[in-house]
Structures are given as C-alpha cells and as structure tokens.
Amino acid sequence: MSAQANDAGLVDWIVVGRTDEVPSRGARVVRAPSGDIAIFRTTEGAIFALRDRCPHKGGPLSQGIVHGEAVTCPLHNWVICLKTGEALGADKGCTPKIPVRIEDGKVLLPAAVLAAAAA
C-alpha cells in the first residue's frame, strides 16, 4: 500500500522509490501518465523533483550533470536551479517544480501530479 494521506489529508502522496536509489549528484526518472519527472539528489543528500523537461528545448534534465543545487542540461548546457526550476545565469525560463516528501528514506510525490499535467 503506497498511497498515503498527508497531514492535512488533502493530498495523496505516492512512494516512487527510495532516496538511496538515486545516485548522489545524479538523478532518476519517474514515468507517469502526466509525463516524466526527474528526481535529483545533491552531494548533501537533498532530494528535489522537477518535470524532466528543460525550459529551453525540452532536454531531459535527468541526464544532466548535477552540481551544487543545480543541474546542467545535457542538450545545450542551460543550468537549472533544482530548488525553483528556474534557469540560472543569463538564460530565462522555468521548469515546473514538483513538491516532494521524504519519509523513512522513501521519496513521495503527490498523486495528482503523477496523474495529470503539472500545475
């Protein structure tokens, strides 16, 4: 049983994997009806989730190099902030950021985000 209610009972959270399944300074992909989601893990062990689509030309951010709290897109080297989804530096654009929760070493995403297009 993996669907769980959150504290306020408003959002269904779904376990998508364990944090240690995501390589440090790396990423994994969650395949969902709403489209791919990239789960990132930084050196410090923080976990972030973004739509796996670069704001530039849709490059798969999960395939980029993760450094600090940012990822460099593999297609044309835009640098995307993992916290906000915003492009850093001179480039402008934003990738939808996905709320993520960690419980007992498990990574959880909101069910609604997996089912439908991101808000």
Residues 4-23 binding another protein (CB under 8 A) are 12, 14-17, 21-23
Among 56, 65, 88, 96, binds ligand FES (CB under 6 A): 56
Judged by beta carbon distances under 5 to 8 A according to partner kind, the member of ligand FES, another protein, none in contact with residue 111 is another protein
Give the closest residue to 70 by CA, choosing from 57, 81, 55: 81
CB 69 within 8 A of CB 42: yes
Stretch that binds ligand FES, among 8-16, 17-25, 33-41, 55-63 (CB under 6 A): 55-63
Among 30, 59, 71, 113, binds ligand FES (CB under 6 A): 59
| Spatial distance between the Cα atoms of 42 and 19, rounded to a whole number of angstroms | 11
CB count, 10 Å around CB of 6? 13
Minimum CB separation of residue 3 from another protein in Å reads 5
- Provide the token pair at 13: 């959270």
